[in-house]
Amino acid sequence: MTLVVDASAVAGWLLPDENGPDLAALVATHADFLAPWLLWAELRNILIVTERRGRLPQGLADQLIEAVEGLGILLDTAPSNAGVLSLARRHGLTVYDALYLDLAQRRGAMLSTLDAKLAQAARAEGVSLA
């Protein structure tokens, strides 16, 4: 089963003071991890902001990125379609978050997120959450 992961879920795996999903359980139950192309920019931004706020020692963000790259998350580079804007409008999402939901819909995949608004939109759209 394919699992679309958003940046909040991945950060939840990595940051010691976050309550993210159990990575080992997700790896055991999902064959592929998938994300829109913007995952890497969002994740790096989360980590650098976390470092600046003193929640991560300087340099640890680089090591965490290497660890995530080792997971082999597949990046979807397909251009967004009109459905992304429709999802964003319908659920009051950012376009960034709508990209994750759109990808899960297009691939018939589950979604992993710590974002309450995105999770609510996914449920409303019939997308299962992990």
Residues belonging to the binding site for Mg(2+) are 6, 97
Tell me the pLDDT tens digit for each residue of 11-70. Answer: 988 887 777 666 667 766 767 999 999 999 999 999 999 999 999 999 999 999 998 898
Residues belonging to the binding site are 6, 97
Q: Rounded to whole angstroms, how far apart are CA atoms 125 and 31?
A: 23
Contact 109, 68 (CB under 8 A): no
6: helix, strand or coil: coil
Tokens 């890497």 correspond to: 40
CATH number at residue 40: 3.40.50.1010
Question: What's the structural domain count of the chain?
Answer: 1
pLDDT at position 50, please? 94
Residue 85 has pLDDT above 80, yes or no: yes
Please tell me the least confidently modeled range out of 15-19, 40-44, 81-85, 116-120: 15-19
* Domain membership flag for residue 130: no
Could you tell me the residue range of the domain that residue 82 belongs to? Answer: 2-124
Read off the pTM. 0.90
